[in-house]
Amino acid sequence: MFDKNDFATNQPKLIDRFNRFPQKLRLSITDKCNMHCVYCMPSGKISLYPKNEILSYEEIQRLATIFVGLGVEKIRLTGGEPLVRPEIEKLISGLSKIAGLKSLGMTTNGLLFSQKAAQLKAAGLQSINISLDTLKPDRFKSITRVDGFSQVLSSLQTAREEGFEVKINTVIIRGQNDDELVDFAQFASNTGYPVRFIEFMPLDGSHIWDLSLVVTKEEMLRRLYQNGIEVLPLNNRLSDPARLYSFKGRGGSIGFIPSMSEPFCGACDRVRLTSDGKFLTCLFEKPSNDIKQLLRMGKSDKVIADYLIDCYRKKPLGLVGLLEHKPIRSGMNLMNTIGG
């Protein structure tokens, strides 16, 4: 069985040619989702991975242990929607016991969270990011194509009651929900739920992304200030994607993830594993590093670790390089297959 200490003493850590090393693993466990958000899922008929192509919980556990042995300290489960996988609490229980893992979280749309919250907490899940792109029930149905606004609000309350660390993820799209910036800021201040505004990225399956639809961090800050909401910058680690701010004269906080206007590629400390076993060193990298094949060929943990090290060494500069050398187009990757 894999022994983390063997890798700690005999193996180099993951490191790329820009001297970056990952401490966070985004682990997608399914490409299925019980929402159909316009900025994420493909329009029309959706092609999902066959069941036998999806990593089993045992395979996920094994790979996660290898990643932690190579320096990963934080794991976040993503999808699709991770809670559509049956008995996910069994996976969480196993992951939470990995020696050296310091944080275990999940990003969810919140539809199923309330009914599973207690089990997830008992299994060892620590934090929850809940996606919420509007505070208007009718608009929620239009964006997600699901009538589930009340369930998501209930999940926020349940998460707090169960003692989870809770954040709200809000993708801002010009002409769709950018008129709610002030409402979300007030919601964050009044409720204490941190809201993180995410710039719209070209990871949409429906190919609606266009640069004109991106509302930048600076524009959002300006619009909040124009509406009487002043914020003060907090101390931010360069590797954290969110730029955090507190409200001047009131409680609560907000954050901005300026992936398009202020790419933070130079300090990136994240890697991704897709539900069908592809290793992505960058959010905008095409899935090509097939780890599942090594697993199912019976390769040892050391062979798999060596492959991960080699793949990560070749990690591209990131979106910064793409912005300099290539035109940005919609659908550069599919968010439902690679996770957030």
Buried residues in 167-181 as b, exposed as e (16+ CB within 10 A): bbbbbbbeebbbebb
Q: From residue 100, how far is each of 9, 74, 91, 96 by CA, in Å? A: 14, 9, 17, 10
Does residue 246 or residue 326 have the better pLDDT? 246
- pLDDT, residue 42, reads 65
Cα–Cα distances in Å, from 324 out to 20, 152, 200, 263, 266? 20, 39, 19, 12, 14
Report the distance separating Cα 274 and Cα 28, nearest Å.
Answer: 5
Confidence at 13, pLDDT banded by 50, 70, 90: confident
Q: Which domain does 323 fall in, by range?
A: 4-8+21-338
Nearest to 121 by CA among 149, 89, 152: 89
Banded pLDDT at 4 (limits 50, 70, 90)? very low
Rounded CA gap, 250 and 307, in Å?
50
Range from 83-87, 279-283, 327-331 carrying the lowest mean pLDDT: 327-331
Is a pLDDT exceeding 60 seen at residue 9?
A: no
Query: 264: domain CATH number?
Result: 3.20.20.70
The mean pLDDT value for 141-151 works out to 94
> Per-residue pLDDT for 320 more than 60?
no
The partner residues of 247 in beta bridges, in order of sequence, read 231
Residue 331 pLDDT > 60: no
The answer to whether residue 16 is domain-embedded is no
Domain presence at residue 306: yes
If 0-12 CB within 10 Å is exposed, 13-18 middle and 19+ buried, where does residue 278 land?
buried
* Residue 52 confidence (pLDDT) above 90: yes
pLDDT at position 37 over 60: yes
Q: What average pLDDT does this structure show over 304-313?
A: 96
The full DSSP string for 97-109 is: TSTT--EEEEEE-
Retrieve residue 33's tokens.
């989702």
Q: What was the pLDDT predicted at 11?
A: 47
Pick the range with the lowest mean pLDDT from 49-53, 135-139, 237-241: 237-241
% of the chain exceeding 70 in pLDDT = 88
Residue 272 in tokens: 């991704």
Average pLDDT (298-322) is 88
pLDDT at position 330, please? 53
Residue 129 covered by a domain:
yes
Mean pLDDT computed over 129-143 = 96
Note if the pTM is more than 0.85.
yes
pLDDT score recorded for residue 340? 62
Burial class (CB in 10 A: 0-12, 13-18, 19+), 48: middle
Q: What percent of the chain has pLDDT over 90?
A: 72
Residue with tokens 């209930």: 154
The pLDDT, as a whole number, for residue 92 is 98
Determine contact, residues 195/181, Cβ cutoff 8 Å. Answer: no
User: What is the DSSP-derived secondary structure letter of residue 18?
Assistant: T
Residue 189 inside a domain? The answer is yes
Count of the separate structural domains present in the chain: 1
Query: Distances from the Cα of 85 to the Cαs of 32, 106, 321, in angstroms?
Result: 9, 13, 36
Query: Does residue 75 fall inside a structural domain?
Result: yes
Residue type, 122: A
Contact 255, 194 (CB under 8 A): yes
R_g of the chain computed on alpha carbons: 20
Residue 107 confidence (pLDDT): 97
Predicted pLDDT of residue 43: 66
| pLDDT higher than threshold 60 for residue 1 | no
Q: Is residue 76 part of a domain?
A: yes
Q: What is the mean pLDDT of the chain?
A: 90
Q: Which residue has the higher pLDDT, 294 or 238?
A: 294
Q: Answer whether 4's CB lies under 8 Å from 69's CB.
A: yes
What's the average model confidence in pLDDT over 67-96? 97
pLDDT digit string (tens) for 203-218?
A: 766 677 888 999 999 9
pLDDT surpasses 70 at 101: yes
Neighbours of 237 (CB within 10 A): 10
Predicted local confidence at residue 48, as pLDDT: 86
pLDDT at residue 332, as a whole number = 54
CB contact at 8 A, 254 and 185: yes
